[in-house]
């Protein structure tokens, strides 16, 4: 046979379009190691089991699919809340728009600053939790992120912090391709809340590594929305110590493609991890929650609560796993994923999994898809509530179990108000 055309390798094609940021010695080493991990795994393709319900191509290909910057007169999320603001524009930290890092009284730096130092606490975490999260399931986009992340913050908290750290991701360039990597270390007995919002870029690859030490608490509330054409692949890797608490809630409205992975290891006894999501999708909306929680200690609790409301052909995906390792007795694991399909064109694809190697555990999981309850709708209307309001009320009621996972009352009400605002603006 004559020579065959050289088959192009999608991973190498992607890598060819990227430049590794210059950084100090340890930064270089961890990035090179991440690149080696990525090369050994390869970027995901359509045949990957873990990407069965979500096409990865626009997330992995070299070129970015442009996303229009959308403007509306709605105030950005978390407006009016007392918080420390860190602004990123198309994936680049904007010091002028942010609060002064030096004046926060916190150990908070840009990733590049941390990597430029010879000795830094972040070295023990950057790419480390990500690496732990690569088994038993490979997450190549996270390895790519560790290798090529161009910005991000590293934050170490040693005491309870009252003011939430708010990361605001602005999108201004319709062709932006952002790779952000944050490292957060919550030391023994400390606590912090992290807020995230904004479309970030036409394409966003984001990793957040969170180490929650013994007796520490981490709260995370994220609002993904606005620019409908944006695409995002995000990962949270969390490691939990004894009696620590981790809570993460994500609201997603709009977005042609969102894949949120959350990988949590409960390593200390009596730890607690709650992950929740509320998604509202209309039209060519594709939203994927992929969660992997490993119980590797005694008497830990985990909850996964995911609710999606889908219409006009929107697609929701849930892949959630609870792995209970040998010896992780008294585990209390709960997982629920539900969709409310407002028409017959919308889809919900769910793959709930339990894998248990301990004999004294309580784990439950459930997954349902349903339509709006006609009886409830009539009941509301018979009391004078107009049809559209009644529908919105039932949609919010459906999402409530997820929203209720937000501990802070102000934040919870804030998120509810945004969800109902979206519903009002999207009435057919």
Partner 1 sequence: MLEIKNLHVKLEEEDKQILKGVDLTVEAGKVHAIMGPNGSGKSTLSYVLSGRDGYEVTAGSAHLDGEDLLEMEAEERAAAGLFLAFQYPVEIPGVGNMTFLRTAVNAQRKARGQEEMSATEFLKVVREKAKTLKIDADMLKRPVNVGFSGGEKKRNEILQMAMLEPKMCILDETDSGLDVDAMKLVSEGVNALRDAGRGFLVITHYQRLLDHIKPDVVHIMANGRIVKTGGPELALEVENNGYADILGEAV
The binding site for partner 1 (CB under 8 A) comprises: 373-376, 378-387, 389-390, 393-394, 396-401
DSSP-derived secondary structure for 152-206: -EEEEE-SB--SPEEEEEE---TT-EEEEEEEEEE-TT-EEEEEEES--SSEEEE
Residue (356 or 400) nearer to partner 1, CB: 400
Nearer to partner 1, 363 or 385 (CB): 385
Q: Contact 163/195 with Cβ under 8 angstroms?
A: no
> Could you please report the per-residue DSSP string of 317-373?
EEEEEEEE-TT-TT-EEEEEEEEEESSTT-EEEEEEEEEE--SS-EEEEEEEEE---
Residue 270 or residue 391: which is nearer to partner 1 going by CB?
391
C-beta of 17 vs 397, nearer to partner 1: 397
Q: Which is nearer to partner 1, 147 or 251 (CB)?
A: 251
Least Å from the CB of residue 405 to partner 1: 13
DSSP 384: T
Judge whether 310 and 346 are in contact, CB under 8 Å.
yes
Nearest distance from C-beta of residue 394 to partner 1, angstroms: 7
**Closer CB to partner 1, residue 357 or residue 378?**
378
Alpha helices in 173-313 (DSSP H): none
Q: Least separation, in Å, of the C-beta of 245 and partner 1?
A: 25
Nearer to partner 1, 363 or 394 (CB): 394
- C-beta of 384: minimal distance to partner 1 in Å? 4
Checking 21-25 for CB contacts under 8 A at 24+ apart, the result is: 21/112, 21/148, 21/149, 21/150, 23/112, 23/115, 23/116, 24/115, 24/116, 24/117, 24/118, 25/118
| Alpha-carbon dihedral angle through residues 329, 215, 294, 310, given to the nearest 10 degrees | 120
Q: Say if residues 210 and 238 touch (Cβ distance below 8 Å).
A: yes
Least spacing, CB of residue 305 vs partner 1, in Å: 12
- Residue 284, preceding peptide bond in cis (omega within 30° of 0): no
Indicate the residue among 353 and 413 with the shorter CB distance to partner 1.
413
Q: Which one, 349 or 380, has the nearer CB to partner 1?
A: 380
Between 18 and 380, CB nearer to partner 1 = 380
Residue with tokens 């045949």: 47
Taking the complex as a whole, the smallest distance from the CB of residue 118 to partner 1 amounts, in Å, to 54
Q: How far apart are CA 135 and CA 126, in angstroms?
A: 17
**Sign of the dihedral defined by the CA atoms of residues 412, 416, 419, 421, in that order:** negative
CA distance 35 to 427: 46
CB of 21 to partner 1, least distance (A): 46
CB of 421 to partner 1, least distance (A): 16
Give the DSSP per-residue string, 58-99. Answer: HHHSSSPPP-PPP--SSPPTTTTS--EEEEEETTEE-TTTSP
Q: How far is the CB of 347 from partner 1 (least distance, A)?
A: 23
**Shortest separation between residue 414's beta carbon and partner 1, angstroms:** 17
């Amino acid at each position: 046979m004559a020579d065959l055309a050289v088959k192009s390798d999608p991973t190498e094609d992607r890598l060819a379009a990227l430049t590794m940021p210059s950084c100090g010695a340890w930064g270089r080493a961890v990035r090179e190691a991440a690149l080696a991990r990525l090369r050994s795994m390869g970027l995901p393709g359509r045949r990957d089991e873990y990407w069965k319900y979500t096409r990865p191509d626009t997330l992995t290909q070299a070129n970015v699919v442009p996303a229009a910057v959308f403007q509306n007169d709605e105030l950005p999320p978390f407006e009016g809340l007392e918080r420390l603001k860190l602004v990123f524009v198309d994936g680049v930290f904007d010091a002028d728009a942010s609060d002064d890092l030096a004046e926060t009284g916190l150990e908070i730096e840009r990733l590049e600053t941390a990597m430029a130092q010879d000795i830094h606490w972040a070295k023990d975490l950057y790419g480390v939790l990500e690496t732990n999260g690569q088994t038993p399931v490979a997450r190549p986009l996270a390895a790519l992120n560790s290798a090529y992340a161009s910005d991000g913050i590293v934050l170490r908290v040693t005491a309870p912090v009252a003011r939430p750290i708010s990361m605001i991701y602005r999108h201004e360039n319709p062709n932006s391709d952002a790779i952000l990597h944050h490292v957060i270390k919550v030391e023994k007995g400390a606590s912090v809340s992290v807020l995230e919002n904004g479309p970030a870029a036409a394409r966003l690859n984001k990793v957040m590594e969170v180490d929650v030490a013994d007796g520490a608490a981490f709260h995370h509330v994220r609002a993904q929305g606005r620019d409908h054409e944006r695409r995002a692949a995000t990962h949270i890797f969390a490691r939990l110590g004894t009696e620590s608490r981790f809570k993460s809630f994500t609201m997603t409205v709009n977005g042609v493609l969102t894949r949120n992975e959350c990988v949590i290891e409960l390593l200390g006894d009596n730890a607690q991890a709650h992950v929740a999501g509320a998604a509202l999708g209309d039209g060519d909306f594709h939203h994927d929650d992929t969660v992997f929680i490993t119980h590797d200690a005694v008497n830990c609790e985990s909850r996964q609560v995911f609710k999606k409301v889908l219409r006009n052909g929107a697609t929701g995906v849930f892949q959630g796993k609870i792995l209970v390792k040998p010896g992780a007795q008294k585990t209390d694991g709960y997982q629920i994923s539900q969709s409310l399909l407002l028409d017959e064109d919308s889809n919900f694809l769910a793959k709930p999994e339990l894998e248990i190697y301990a004999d004294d555990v309580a784990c439950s999981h459930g997954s349902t898809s349903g339509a709006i309850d006609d009886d409830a709708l009539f009941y509301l209307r018979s009391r004078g509530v107009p049809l559209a309001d009644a529908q919105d009320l039932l949609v919010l009621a459906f999402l409530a179990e997820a929203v209720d996972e937000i501990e802070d009352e102000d934040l919870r009400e804030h998120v509810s108000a945004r969800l109902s605002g979206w519903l009002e603006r999207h009435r057919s």
